[in-house]
Structure 1
Amino acid sequence: MDNKEVDRLVSDENKHLKKLHQIVEDTLKAEKLIIYNLLNPPLEILSQGQKISDKVARFGGSWRFIILFGIVLTVWIFFNAVAVGFYEFDPYPFILMNLILSCIAALQAPVIMMSQNRQEEKDRMRGENDYLINLKAEMQIRSLHQKMDLLLEEQIKTLFDTQGKQFDLLKEINRKLDNLYTK
């Protein structure tokens, strides 16, 4: 091997390393925005109405509310069924109770829907974060594939160069053997 071949091999190796470094740099640049978005999610600023709707939805959808509401209704019905005269404020068809229940349902439903809409927005943001994480993983896999392809390309090139040199050596040996046989 002469100096030119050594210089060529070193130059090829440097080109190969530069390609690998470029792939890594490109991957890091592409991931920078994704990582920033994942580490710095937008702050959630809630208005007073949104805070109230979340609390109402949290309480209205709990076992505590169901049990408490069941107890209040049972006491209401029992008191009005047993009470007589002046103490009976809502007789048997319980019209006042039905009116109150309808009002509660009419007010509670939109408040719960507001809270559900906000939760849906949170779920959408979570989905976007999941997408960004998957995108980051895909970019890393793509980068690994590029590196592997580059390494395989370099190995194949080295293999062909080695085979070429071996072929040249075989020709040289064959020529020397022919010279020995002809003498």
Structure 2
Amino acid sequence: MTSKHPLDTAAQHFFGKGARALDPEEIHVLEQMKEHRPVSRDAADASDDVATFGDRLADRVAAVGGSWAFIITFGVILLGWMLLNSDVLGHFGLAFDPYPYIFLNLMLSTLAAIQAPVIMMSQNRQSAKDRIAASLDYEVNLRTEIEIMHLHDKIDSLIVERLDRILARLERQAGPVAPD
């Protein structure tokens, strides 16, 4: 004996399939409708709910590393390093990283080796956020379609009721019709 799922009637009416065949988004929409609760949620909040510390750190590193403030500051630091090691300390024979700046190249390579995967992690997280946003948009659109279908059913029912009352009134006014 199979037990009937509580959402089977609504699933069959709106989707033409049983509740067990529904997607998670469809089930969520029907459950929220049953409880008379809104289905819309903020995608950023939903994404932040599942974010780990590493995800948030990658986002911050990518935000800083991809900003004009970082680029300008980094350019100034590089220029300062080169001037310090070429002209200022080089003049006294104390340059710790003279031209061709081998230590600076090592630092830049290390920074690039670390920063690139972190930025890729942030991009992957952004892709996940976009998928969550698309799923939430789908739920809202689905809820809207179901509500419109429900309103159509109500309006159709009201029209049929009204037509039945009009026909009944016409029959009462016309009286019995004599056979030919």
TM-score by length of 1: 0.64
Structure 1 counterpart of 2:166? 159
Structure 2 counterpart of 1:116? 123
- Tell me the SS of whatever aligns to 1:103: helix
Aligned residues: 147
1:148 maps to 2:155: yes
Distance in 1, Cα, partners of 2:84 & 2:36: 63
Name stretches of at least 5 consecutive residues in structure 2 with no aligned partner.
1-9, 15-29
| Distance 1:159-1:122 versus aligned 2 partners, 3 A rule | same
User: Is the CA contact 1:81–1:91 (under 8 Å) kept in the aligned structure 2?
Assistant: yes
More contact order relative to length (CA 8 Å, sep ≥ 6): 1
Distance in 1, Cα, partners of 2:54 & 2:47: 20
TM-score by length of 2: 0.65
1:127 maps to 2:152: no
Question: Aligned to 1:56, which of 40, 52, 61?
Answer: 61
User: Is the CA contact 2:39–2:140 (under 8 Å) kept in the aligned structure 1?
Assistant: no
Distance in 2, Cα, partners of 1:126 & 1:76: 45
After alignment, is 79-88 or 110-119 more displaced? 79-88
**Which of the pair is proportionally richer in helix?**
1
Distance in 2, Cα, partners of 1:120 & 1:60: 19
Question: Aligned to 1:84, which of 84, 91, 95?
Answer: 91
Q: 1:4-39 CA deviation, whole Å, 9 max, x = no partner?
A: xxxxxxxxxxxxxxxxxxx9xx99866137947656
- Tell me the SS of whatever aligns to 2:162: helix
| Distance 1:41-1:94 versus aligned 2 partners, 3 A rule | closer
Name stretches of at least 5 consecutive residues in structure 1 with no aligned partner.
1-22, 173-183
Structure 2 counterpart of 1:177? none
Q: Give the letter aligned to residue 31 of structure 1.
A: M
Q: How does 1:1-183 map to 2 (within 5 A)?
A: 31-32=33-34, 35=37, 38=40, 41=46, 44-82=49-87, 83-84=90-91, 86-168=93-175
Distance in 1, Cα, partners of 2:117 & 2:70: 17
Larger-gyration structure (1/2): 1
Q: 1:130-165 CA deviation, whole Å, 9 max, x = no partner?
A: 211111111111111101111111122222222223
